[in-house]
Amino acid sequence: MPIIKPFMASRKFTATIGDGTGTGETFAIAATTFTDDAGAAVTAFPGSFAYYVLYINAQIQTADTSTLTTTTITIPDGDALDGATPIVIEVIVN
């Protein structure tokens, strides 16, 4: 039986699509372009987390919409969206 960690918390990060680079399948937004809950610049996303939720223009996205690493979030074809579109990532850490 797996061990369930009792502590859970969330970290939220915000940016816009215009902060991303690349096209098509390689479109990504670097962690360093995001700000955190306190409005401070982000250096990296959490390296260990239970799960994350991606919001594009306040709409929850399905799990197949993105891939999150400590340095970037990849959103295939995200470059097709308007540059001012807000992006929020909620990372649940434990």
User: What's residue 5's pLDDT?
Assistant: 67
Question: Is pLDDT above 80 for 16?
Answer: yes
Count of domains observed in the chain: 1
Do 2 and 73 contact (CB within 8 A), yes or no? no
Residue 78 corresponds to which amino acid?
G
How many Cα atoms sit within 13 Å of 7 on the Cβ side?
3
- Count CA within 13 A, CB hemisphere, residue 89: 31
Section 63-81 average pLDDT: 96
Once rounded to an integer, what is the mean pLDDT over residues 56-77?
Answer: 96
Which residue range forms the structural domain that includes residue 52?
A: 9-26+34-71+84-93
pLDDT for 1 beyond 80: no
Whether 94 has a pLDDT exceeding 90, the answer reads no
pTM reported for the whole predicted model:
0.90
Are 94 and 5 in contact, with CB atoms under 8 Å apart?
yes
